Chain A
Amino acid sequence: MFVINCPYCGPRDEHEFGYGHEAHIARPTLEQQGTMSDAEWANYLFLRTNTKGVHFERWVHTKGCRRWFNVARHTVTHEILKVYKMGEPKPDISAENLPR
């Protein structure tokens, strides 16, 4: 159980939020879609990093402001390391440089 600091509403209990899975998966552009192979489609649609460690993922404040945002969360400790807005680049956090 954890508290997520919604960038719009502040800290709220996890159960107010919906999970949007892995972040930073770019949807192919129309031009790319015309020439993409089946393997490239599989990569976009189904393959995931499924990180054990710091995972970059999307959440939505379903029972609050209903807005989407990104979270960097450790998948073993569930510690939330950073909350950042949609469209912002992936922050430079890796399992190696975590404070212990």
Chain B
Amino acid sequence: MKQAYSIFTLVRNALSYHQDWQEAWRSPEPKREYDVLIIGGGGHGLATAYYLAKEHGITNVAVLEKGWLGGGNTGRNTTIVRSNYLWDESAHLYEHSLKLFEGLSQDLNYNVMFSQRGLMNLCHTEHDMQATRRRVYAIQMNGIDSEMLTREQVQEMVPILDCSPKARYPVLGASLQRRGGVARHDAVAWGLARKADERGVDIIQNCEVTGFDIVNGVVKGVQTTRGAIGAKKIGIVVAGHSGVMAGLAGFRLPVESHPLQALVSEPIKPILNTVVMSPQVHVYVSQSDKGELVLGAGIDAFTSYAQAGSPPVIENQLNALTDLYPCFSRLRMLRQWGGIVDTCPDASPIIGKTPVENLFINCGWGTGGFKATPGSGNVFAHTIARGEPHPLAVPFALERFTTGYLIDEHGAAGVAH
């Protein structure tokens, strides 16, 4: 049993100079065989393992991570959480995740610093206003909070935004999801890992999958850099490397991997208390608790596995930033990085079965996976445990690319996150 994190444990450990903290998770040697193997120790993989143990009683589970826990996109994103999606299928899935986020700190006994500070999508043209209004109404019809703001309301909430009629990108209004916000991405991974470990899940880091053992179309286990590991069922949750894993298992996916860049500024005093996205001029910004501005934009156009993008993307994003917020023009940027995201043609994820029996996949989250972390793990755990997709995951099956039932979220998802 893990010792519960609380003010009392903090005080007790302070008395022993913080030398006696219990380890958050073990680092066991891999067993020869498991009931379920999860490939990928990012947020989605850890959430899958956690919910397998918590909700389905499957605890003979290992999470295989080729690097270190949460060291991929989980630690590289801009931490935005929202559920303001246009189509019913996406709205229900992302709302499921947002609701789990709302109780996650209590559930995990780990402060994931989920801050529902509101999330705004700016409109710069009359067409923007119409499309956004349509989306807001669709979201409201699904019972999810969303509202339109006038230019004056936007200016009141974000005084530093250039809302003047002479602005390079005039602001006509915005949509607002008050329950949207940000969470501490590392804490999500660490909290999930700690609780999954408590329930018996083996988290095995520095263990790269190099091949699948497939007999007559049924997966029996994997080859790894730490030896062969057998499993009754296997889930692939590897984001940018989904295509590589699928290749090892002998099938192809409708995904392409691209770099997605983000950057943070030097820390400044509190100046922005909400998340502001501009899908049209393409920059999104929030301020972290440390005071840094966290900035993101779109993917680099080319296929890449390099975890680094090209400067023109950054330049466009910073041009947009300084046009919208003139007061940021003299800010210095501290760090810039790239992650590899697996993008789908319809900007929606793939959750479900693969052509190989007992091999499941959860991928294609593209540029917006962080917000879905608990929801994705929750429905994927159900899908693996039952062998049938969770009702929320049914529309996101790989077959949709054959049936043509695409969930085209480019309007809500493909442009900005």
Contact = CB atoms under 8 A, between A and B. Distances in A.
Contacts of A46: 254, 345, 401
Contacts of A15: 310, 312
Given A38-B403, A38-B404, A42-B402, A50 B243 contact: yes
B313 to A, nearest CB: 9
Contact of A1 (B254, B310, B403): B310
Interface of B: 241, 243-244, 247, 252-257, 301-306, 310-312, 342, 345, 401-404
A63 to B, nearest CB: 11
Most B C-beta atoms less than 10 A away, residue of A19, A42, A73:
A42
Give the dominant DSSP class at A's interface: mixed
Given A19-B301, A48-B243, A50-B243, 11 more contacts: A1-B311, A18-B301, A47-B254, A47-B401, A48-B253, A50-B255, A51-B243, A52-B244, A57-B302, A76-B304, A76-B306
- Residue of A1, A15, A39, A52 with highest tally of chain B CB at under 10 A: A52
A75 interface: yes
A50 to B, nearest CB: 3
B402 A75 contact: no
A73 B302 CA distance: 10
Given A38-B404, A42-B402, A50 B312 contact: no
Contacts of A51: 243, 303
A59 B32 CA distance: 47
A42 B345 CA distance: 11
A21 interface: yes
Interface of A: 1-2, 14-15, 18-19, 21-22, 38-39, 41-43, 45-52, 55, 57, 73, 75-78
A2 B300 CA distance: 12
B239 to A, nearest CB: 12
Given A1-B311, A14-B310, A77-B306, A52 B256 contact: no
Nearest to A55: B303
Contacts of B302: 19, 57, 73
Contacts of A75: 257, 303-306
6 contacts: A14-B310, A15-B312, A18-B301, A19-B301, A50-B255, A50-B342
Given A46-B401, A47-B401, A50-B257, A76 B305 contact: yes
A41 B400 CA distance: 12
A17 B82 CA distance: 34
B305 A52 contact: yes
Counting chain A CB atoms within 10 Å of each CB, which of B257, B305, B404 scores highest?
B305
B409 to A, nearest CB: 15
B317 to A, nearest CB: 14
Contacts of B254: 42, 46-48
Contacts of B345: 45-46
Most buried by B among A1, A41, A73: A1
B339 to A, nearest CB: 14
A2 to B, nearest CB: 8
A75 B338 CA distance: 14
In the A-B complex, the 8 residue pairs with the closest CB atoms = A50-B243, A46-B254, A19-B301, A47-B252, A15-B312, A42-B402, A1-B310, A46-B401
B252 A48 contact: yes
A1 B304 CA distance: 12
B301 A57 contact: no
Nearest to A53: B305
A50 B253 contact: yes
A19 B259 CA distance: 14
Contacts of B301: 18-19
Contacts of B252: 43, 47-50
Contacts of B256: 21-22, 48, 50
A47 B253 contact: yes
A21 B401 contact: no
B255 A39 contact: no
Contacts of B303: 21-22, 50-51, 55, 57, 75
Nearest to A14: B310
B310 A38 contact: no
A99 to B, nearest CB: 19
Contacts of B403: 38
Nearest to B304: A75
Contacts of A38: 402-404
A19 B257 CA distance: 14
B365 to A, nearest CB: 15
